[in-house]
Amino acid sequence: MREIPYGMTGLGKVQRARQGMVSWPELSSDLPVPLRVRSASQPAWENLCRARGTVRVLGRFHRSLDLLVNDTVLAFVLPEIRNGPFHVVLTCFPSQPLPDSMEVRRTHGGIRLGPWLLRITPPPFLWNPAPPWETLSARPEGLRPLRTLRGLRRLRTLAEQAARQDAARSPFAALLLGEGLPAVTSLLQALSHPDPSAVRRAAAQLAGWGPGLTPSGDDFLAGVMLGLWLDRGADAAAACAQIYAAAAPRTTRLSCAFLRAASEGLADERWHVLLRALTLDDAEGLEHAARDVLAFGASSGLDMLAGFQLATCNLQPSTCNL
């Protein structure tokens, strides 16, 4: 019987691939590429663990891979993208890509997704995408702690500085510098009364508007909704549901996922750090957190911060006047 060299067997090829001696595409499709999950948002992980049947790739990027799992968006991301409402953070992306469509199933060793095997032992760190709104919001007393007011005023200054420096990046930069936009004015007025039908009309005008993988108008609305959660806590859910209902049919599936997360009071790790910094008398920490948010995407960070800042300023005027 002819002996097969170890380096030509499936296990041998895996070892050689890890040593950089062969590329992953040389591996047999019957032998999955093992991957370790570093962390995952709890909703995303639960969605992935109960997934059955066909999974479809929505978008491929250098540091992220967007999938449609159980008719819900899920993103595999690299560690530098950090945790998000629907993120599963992998330690690395293998050279062997996922096909446009594939089957997902649970196996003894983990979750088999096309040519990938996601290890579930040890289990990943499960991250909660919901900030502690009950301790951050102004409700039920209706008054913010003085340190939070100081933090919001510092954030306003940082947002205005970013708008002056990068005015060409975001169509909403002018708003931070005092210019008006009718649809934004209508939205803020409707939220102040409140007027659900007016909220839907104004949100519909902004949804899907502007440049970006997630359009600037959607990012702005996501920021507004996080501002509502900061202002009202769980009482923000009804108004945010109105915004989401109006925006969802008018934008992309990926952007819709971000909007849905914001409407439910969910945010990515950068925003968690920023919101926490708002409650501390730490000007340096707040500046660092704000710059992290502003660095996200081509203009998404600035667009979201514009929506958040305008919502907190208009719905809590003392934030701007003190």
* 3-state DSSP assignment of residue 58: strand
Give the distance, in angstroms, between the CA of residue 161 and the centroid of all CA atoms in the same chain. 24
Beta-bridge partners for 77: 64, 89
Please give the chain's pLDDT, 322 residues, in tens. Answer: 333 333 344 444 444 444 444 443 443 456 789 999 999 999 999 999 999 899 999 999 999 999 999 899 999 999 999 999 999 999 999 988 899 999 999 888 799 999 999 988 788 999 999 999 988 865 555 455 667 778 888 998 999 998 888 777 788 988 888 888 899 999 999 998 888 999 999 999 999 998 778 999 999 999 999 999 998 889 999 999 999 999 999 999 999 999 999 999 999 999 999 999 988 878 899 999 999 999 998 889 999 999 999 898 776 554 454 4
Task: Quickly tell me which residue has 């790739």 as its tokens.
Answer: 57
Q: Name the maximum alpha-carbon separation found in the chain.
A: 86
* DSSP-based three-state secondary structure for 296: coil
From CA 41, how far away is CA 83, in angstroms rounded?
7
Token output for 75: 């993103």
Domain boundaries, given as residue ranges, for the chain: 32-127, 133-321
pTM of the predicted model, to two decimals? 0.86
Could you give the dihedral angle defined by the CA atoms of residues 186, 266, 175 and 155, in that order, rounded to the nearest 10 degrees? 130
3 state SS of 305: helix
Q: Is 26 helix (H, G, I), strand (E, B) or coil?
A: helix
- Which residues contact residue 175 at a Cβ distance below 8 angstroms, ignoring those fewer than 6 apart? 181, 184, 306, 310
What residues contact 146, with CB distance under 8 A and at least 6 apart?
A: none
- Give phi and psi for 294, each to the nearest 5: -65, -25
Distance CA 189, CA 234 (A): 20
**3-state secondary structure (DSSP) of residue 231:** helix
C-alpha dist (Å) from residue 62 to 66, 97, 292: 11, 12, 19
